[in-house]
Amino acid sequence: MKYLNNDAKQKFEKVIDINKNDGYGRATINFAIRWADLMEKEIDLGKKVLDIADKTSNVADTEGITGFMYNYAVKLLGECWLYGEDLRKWHNKEYNYEGNGVVNSCIVTI
């Protein structure tokens, strides 16, 4: 996984350390790492995050993640991963939002 910078790498490693004994948190991090790695392979072939994010997230989901896990992975990658801002924008655009932060896709509107 390619990090934005050393500070981002340290932040990601801290999140890993905090969640090392928590199965739910660790599964979330495992998903984020798998997802980033899969996207990087496609990016290295010249593809854009917006064209590969959905497909690669499905492939990376080997543990049956929840909506919260997915949203947190987007947030974490958005803050630490070299291509995270593109991912964050892609995710938010899926919910017709172009502002700051990460849309919580778990909220249901009735």
pLDDT of residue 74: 97
Percent of the chain with pLDDT over 70: 97
The sign of the dihedral angle between the CA atoms of 54, 77, 29, 19 is negative
Q: How confident is the model at residue 107 (pLDDT cuts 50, 70, 90)?
A: confident
CB 14 within 8 A of CB 80: no
pLDDT of residue 109: 63
pLDDT tens digits, 80-90: 999 999 999 99
pTM attached to this predicted model: 0.93
